[in-house]
Amino acid sequence: MKILIAGGGIAGLTTALCFAWRGAEVTVVEQAETFGEVGAGLQLSPNAMKVMRWLGLEEQLASSGFAPEFAEMRMGESGQQIFKFPLAHRNAAQQRWGAPYLHIHRADLIECLLTALGTEPRVSWMTGDSAASYQQDGDTVTLRLVSGKTLVSDLLIGADGIHSTIRTQMLGPEEPRCTGNTAWRCTIPTDLLGSHAPDPNATIWLGRGKHAVTYRLRGGQLANFVGVVERSDWQSESWSEEGDKAEALADFADWHPVVQSLIEAAPRLFRWGLFDRAPLSKWTDGRVAIIGDAAHPMLPFMAQGAGQAIEDAFVLARNVMGQNPTEDALKNYEAERKPRASRVQSVSRGNAKLFHHRNGAMRLATYGPMWMAGRFAPGAIMARQDWLYGHDVVA
């Protein structure tokens, strides 16, 4: 079977590897001249790591990433801990959810996937070009590229991100909703932070109308910062536009020194506007399917964008390379994946409110029980993650 993938990001490359391992001939088309991603960290929770283990990449990812000791929640200004539960500590994530929890730089994950694909003779790629439109004719689908070239395959997969050309043709123009939130991000060498380096944990810092996330990358050599603020004056959804450090410092004025030190030490700060999108009516059209951000773009408040794309890749390849006809296989893929991805989208949307309470009474009513659970029933907090981290598409 010949598989054509539009998009060479995490979703596209993972899909290519999943199909190649099942015997398909794969071509990946990437609009950039070289494969890669804007530098930033991401979280690979156990549900995603189970797929990476199946692909034989767990050891390589572990060596280039960072395994956080705990997941924790803190107040942004005081730093007071609300709760924590173990991840790498005493191998807790592996014991409870069947795989480790890793932080990894996007570029390192891309490099790992490319290295694995480089050993697959059935995989080829084209760079410096991108999808323009597709057309179906019986048993094949033809993709026309921006350059004017055409490619013919048995199946076309749109892994071309939040501004997907494939999705636009399938469903028409999108109507994203501005959430009124702007996100800052940066990575900083840990040795520049001294005593204010973030703990070796996955930490969420809560504040009035804002929150931040901190964690380590590359064996602890880098610190990753993401800060989300309720302000709708920044409408760009690009990850590569730089912002003013003075504005970021003003957004997190009076916050804990760990957060302020990360911003102050950042060589460059990027910012992007956060937009929300409702679940799509469908993910497939004949011999065409969309995955990852093209199918279910989600707010970053569950750290599941990469994880859900990785799950998509495995489930799509398993269905298509099984015994069902291609169009039936795509429908099965959508039926299996859509409810779960939609749930993650919904919980991510809700977390934006959970993390940003302004009213003192509401903060006490929300975070007080969390503090109590963290002290006396940490297992109950872990249990709330079972549906997400315990999920195993490989099984």
- What is the 3-class SS of 149-215, one letter each residue? CEEEECEEEECCCCCCHHHHHHHCCCCCEEEEEEEEEEEEEHHHCHHHCCCCCEEEEEECCEEEEEE
For 377, the token pair is 């029933």
For 323, the token pair is 């015994």
DSSP-derived pairing of the beta strands 25-30 and 41-44: unpaired
Secondary structure (3-state) at 11: helix
Distance from the first to the final alpha carbon of the chain: 24
The burial of 148, by beta-carbon neighbours within 10 Å (0-12 exposed, 13-18 middle, 19 or more buried), is given as exposed
Our measurement of the distance from residue 14's CA atom to the centroid of its chain's CA atoms, rounded to an integer in Å, reads 13
Contact (CB, 8 A) for 252 and 263: yes
Using CA atoms, how far residue 311 sits from 106, 335, 388, in Å, is: 17, 14, 11
In whole angstroms, give the CA distance from residue 103 to residue 50: 15
DSSP-derived pairing of the beta strands 70-75 and 123-127: unpaired
Residue length of the chain: 395
Number of continuous H segments (helices) and E segments (strands) in the chain: 13, 18
Amino acid identity of residue 114, one-letter, is L
Q: Which of 344, 205, 368 is nearest to 279 (CA)?
A: 344
215 is catalytic: yes
The burial of 342, by beta-carbon neighbours within 10 Å (0-12 exposed, 13-18 middle, 19 or more buried), is given as middle
Q: Which of 134, 215, 367, 389 is catalytic?
A: 215
Residues noted as catalytic: 215
